[in-house]
Amino acid sequence: MRRPTDNSSKLATRLANAARRALLAALLLACGPASAQARSPQALVHKPAPAFVRRDLNGQQLSLARLRGKVVLLNFWATWCGPCLTEMPEFMAWQRQFAAQGFQVVGISMDDDAAAARKLATKLKVDYPIAMGDPDLGRHYGGVLGLPLTFLIDRKGEVRAVYQGVSNLNAIQTEIRTLLIER
């Protein structure tokens, strides 16, 4: 003869397993193949860069689609990120050096406060457009879970390289030069 506690325990286990299976099925439906690709910035390499339209810190409309035909360095950064601040002067130098060849740097500040980003951009005399980012834009770019996060986008609008965290600026510059000679 079975004890009632054994039946209760088995029933609880069955219910817990059924609940786990239902949760897993719901997650698989919500996070199907299209969502799974966007979970990693690296998954965007050799795919079209997600389009966006934002106002930059000067109030001008910034559209990634309008930059088609240029090589774009898209940099997610924040005012509190030391490596981000180290990269910015180099990005400004590249903007000046390569602009005539069809190169454009675009900054996306992941700060909560546009005033902080504007103050830093003014202090550093940033000469490329900066727009404010948010979690939604970050999700489109595979999840901005660490900064800096930099994408190199070719003239056709395809992501060609992704650099996460502290990056080798020489490697980025070499890739920019390669993309600029491609037509």
**pLDDT, tens digit (0-9, with 9 covering 90-100), for 87-103:** 999 999 999 999 999 99
The C-alpha torsion from 95 through 171 and 77 to 109, rounded to 10°, is 30
Could you tell me if residue 59 is inside a domain?
A: yes
Q: What is the CATH number of the domain that holds 56?
A: 3.40.30.10
**Is the model more confident about 6 or about 60?**
60
pLDDT at 183: 81
Cβ of 13: how many Cβ atoms within 10 Å? Answer: 10
Same domain, 13 and 87: no
pLDDT at 37: 41
Mean pLDDT, residues 145-164 taken together: 97
Same domain, 102 and 62: yes
Torsion 13-18-22-28 (CA) sign: positive
Mean pLDDT, residues 103-130 taken together: 97
pLDDT at 99: 98
The C-alpha torsion from 15 through 16 and 18 to 23, rounded to 10°, is 140
- What is the DSSP track for the chain? ---HHHHHHHHHHHHHHHHHHHHHHHHHHHT-HHHHHTTSGGGGTTSBPPP-EEEBTTS-EEESGGGTTSEEEEEEE-TT-HHHHHHHHHHHHHHHHHGGGTEEEEEEE--S-HHHHHHHHHHHT--S-EEE--HHHHHHTT---SS-EEEEE-TTSBEEEEEESS--HHHHHHHHHHHHH--
pLDDT at 20: 43
pTM more than 0.85: no
Could you tell me if residue 35 is inside a domain?
A: no
Could you tell me if residue 128 is inside a domain?
A: yes
User: Is residue 47 pLDDT above 60, yes or no?
Assistant: yes
Mean pLDDT, residues 60-73 taken together: 98
pLDDT at 18: 40
Q: Which domain holds residue 22?
A: 4-30
Same domain, 65 and 123: yes
Average model confidence (pLDDT) across the chain: 86
Could you give the CA distance from residue 162 to residue 164 in angstroms, rounded to a whole number?
7
Same domain, 18 and 75: no
User: Is residue 38 pLDDT above 60, yes or no?
Assistant: no
pLDDT at 5: 54
pLDDT at 15: 45
For 76-87, the pLDDT digits (tens) are 999 999 999 999
pLDDT at 6: 60
pLDDT at 23: 37
CA atoms within 13 A on the CB side of 66: 8
Could you tell me if residue 97 is inside a domain?
A: yes
Same domain, 75 and 120: yes
